[in-house]
């Protein structure tokens, strides 16, 4: 039977736990800096205008039904998704060496990547080889449990220097050089979660060269394309450089792509998993797609249709694509504006410490440097909720609460 001794109670997921505490808090001035979901100037969820237009189009089209999609997803969607992330002119697409399959958003894509690595990533001359996945320290808390649920071991590479609020780039590169050949390196394609600090282009080159020189497999997790700079191309620079520059030789490149954030389709679970092969090989392409399809079939049978139809309409209708690009600028520039305003307020108050890292960091999050006891005090005394590790979702700031948040931070720091 089922006995409690075998089924220990787990604590709530930290982030969804914050959401629950926030929902219970009855104070009117409460502020949600927890979960990474975009909010408008009034603190409300935002349905992108491009998404509304696409939904309208969909509702009036012959495609509007709730039939099953194919196991590998909506082909129009996966093909267009590959172009969004790899670029219209991608050498990999032109040379037909990309295998794409639809996933349950970014999380489902990472799960597919983990399962695929566990089952099929091997060394020709070493039957006992099993790769370890290297993740940044710190990283999105779900990474470790996703990979361990796929049967993979994870370990951390140095990333963030708390004292200087900069990357530990030398130690990072050293860790790549010292990892057993053939390791998997999980790279945040853009808008690193939780630090908000991405490598600069010169640093990316060092990282990619070390991965290439040491025979490792790069896995790009791309959950925030368009959120860092507002430009899809700029935010995909590192991945496109890894593929198109010709400077590196990888055993393949895995790409986990989410449209949750950049289309504001969080709950619709729109994403894709791409395997970029080093050279064109029809038989291998087809074998990989067949195996990924088998995984999908056994886990979810087929992916959800609605969001994929909406996103594929955005990507295939030039007018909607332009609107989406404007929407990305709206979101990314509002967040950048809030970063600036928060720093201005903290400086105006003379809050002890330096706060420039908040504007140096990009994307949804700022790793503020606030301690667990300070974040606890913010929640308890001021109804301001953020992760215990001091990660604040900047999208939760708006003109109506930024002064209040700055004053509260000032109070808990003094
Ligand atoms: N990867 C990172 C780094 C994330 O921050 C997230 C979401 O927070 C995801 C992947 C996946 O998100 P989703 O499954 O909602 O697409």
| Residue of 32, 46, 140, 355 with catalytic role | 140
- The stretch 157-161 carries a mean pLDDT of 97
Known catalytic membership, residue 324: no
Residue 95 is predicted with a pLDDT of 97
Res 15 pLDDT > 90: no
Q: Do 270 and 260 meet the contact criterion of CB atoms below 8 Å apart?
A: yes
Res 11 pLDDT > 90: no
Nearest CA to ligand 1 atom 12: 106
Q: Do 273 and 113 meet the contact criterion of CB atoms below 8 Å apart?
A: yes
Q: How far is the CA of 4 from the centre of ligand 1 (A)?
A: 32
Nearest CA to ligand 1 atom 8: 36
Does ligand 1 lie within 6 Å of residue 190's CB atom?
no
Known catalytic membership, residue 221: yes
- Per DSSP, the chain holds a count of helices (H) and strands (E) of 16, 13
182-217 confidence digits (pLDDT tens): 999 999 999 999 999 999 999 999 999 999 999 999
Does ligand 1 lie within 6 Å of residue 90's CB atom?
no
Q: How far apart are CA 78 and CA 64, in angstroms?
A: 18
283-339 confidence digits (pLDDT tens): 999 999 999 999 999 999 999 999 999 999 999 999 999 999 999 999 999 999 999
| Residue of 165, 261, 309, 362 with catalytic role | 261
Nearest CA to ligand 1 atom 2: 223
Q: Do 193 and 161 meet the contact criterion of CB atoms below 8 Å apart?
A: no
Average pLDDT of the chain to the nearest whole number: 96
Q: What is the ipTM of this complex?
A: 0.99
Strand 154-158 relative to strand 133-137, pairing: parallel
Q: How far apart are CA 118 and CA 126, in angstroms?
A: 15
- State the CB neighbour count (10 A cutoff) for residue 190: 25
235-245 confidence digits (pLDDT tens): 999 999 999 99
Known catalytic membership, residue 160: no
Q: How far apart are CA 165 and CA 231, in angstroms?
A: 25
Nearest CA to ligand 1 atom 1: 223
The pTM assigned to this predicted structure is 0.97
Q: How far is the CA of 345 from the centre of ligand 1 (A)?
A: 30
């Amino acid at each position: 039977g089922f006995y409690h001794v075998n089924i220990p109670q787990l604590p709530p997921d930290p982030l969804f736990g914050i959401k629950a505490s926030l929902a219970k808090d009855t104070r009117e001035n409460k502020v949600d800096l927890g979960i990474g979901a975009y909010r408008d100037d009034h603190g409300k969820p935002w349905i992108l205008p491009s998404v509304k237009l696409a939904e309208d189009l969909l509702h009036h089209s012959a495609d509007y039904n709730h039939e099953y999609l194919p196991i590998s997803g909506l082909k129009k969607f996966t093909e267009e998704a590959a172009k969004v992330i790899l670029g219209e002119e991608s050498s990999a697409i032109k040379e037909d060496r990309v295998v794409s399959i639809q996933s349950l958003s970014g999380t489902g894509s990472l799960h597919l990547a983990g399962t695929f690595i566990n089952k099929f990533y091997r060394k020709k001359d070493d039957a006992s080889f099993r790769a370890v996945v290297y993740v940044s320290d710190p990283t999105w808390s779900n990474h470790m449990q996703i990979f361990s649920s796929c049967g993979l071991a994870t370990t951390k590479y140095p990333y963030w220097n708390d004292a200087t609020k900069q990357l530990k780039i030398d130690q990072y590169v050293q860790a790549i050089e010292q990892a057993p050949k053939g390791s998997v390196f999980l790279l945040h394609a853009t808008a690193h979660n939780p630090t908000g600090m991405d490598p600069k282009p010169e640093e990316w080159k060092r990282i990619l060269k070390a991965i290439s020189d040491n025979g490792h497999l790069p896995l790009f997790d791309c959950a925030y394309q368009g959120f860092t700079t507002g430009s899809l191309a700029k935010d995909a620079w590192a991945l496109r450089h890894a593929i198109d520059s010709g400077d590196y030789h990888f055993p393949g490149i895995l790409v986990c792509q989410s449209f949750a954030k950049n289309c504001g389709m969080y709950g619709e679970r729109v994403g894709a998993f791409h395997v970029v092969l080093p050279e064109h090989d029809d038989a291998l392409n087809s074998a990989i797609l067949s195996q990924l399809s088998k995984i999908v079939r056994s886990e979810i049978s087929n992916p959800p249709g609605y969001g994929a139809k909406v996103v594929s309409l955005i990507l295939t209708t030039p007018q909607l694509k332009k609107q989406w690009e404007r929407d990305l600028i709206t979101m990314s520039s509002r967040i950048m504006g809030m970063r600036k305003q928060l720093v201005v307020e903290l400086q105006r108050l003379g809050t002890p410490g330096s706060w420039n890292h908040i504007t140096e960091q990009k994307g949804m999050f700022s790793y503020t440097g606030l301690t667990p006891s300070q974040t606890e005090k913010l929640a308890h005394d001021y109804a301001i909720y953020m992760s215990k590790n001091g990660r604040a979702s900047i999208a939760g700031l708006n003109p109506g609460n930024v002064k209040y948040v700055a004053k509260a931070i000032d109070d808990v720091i003094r």
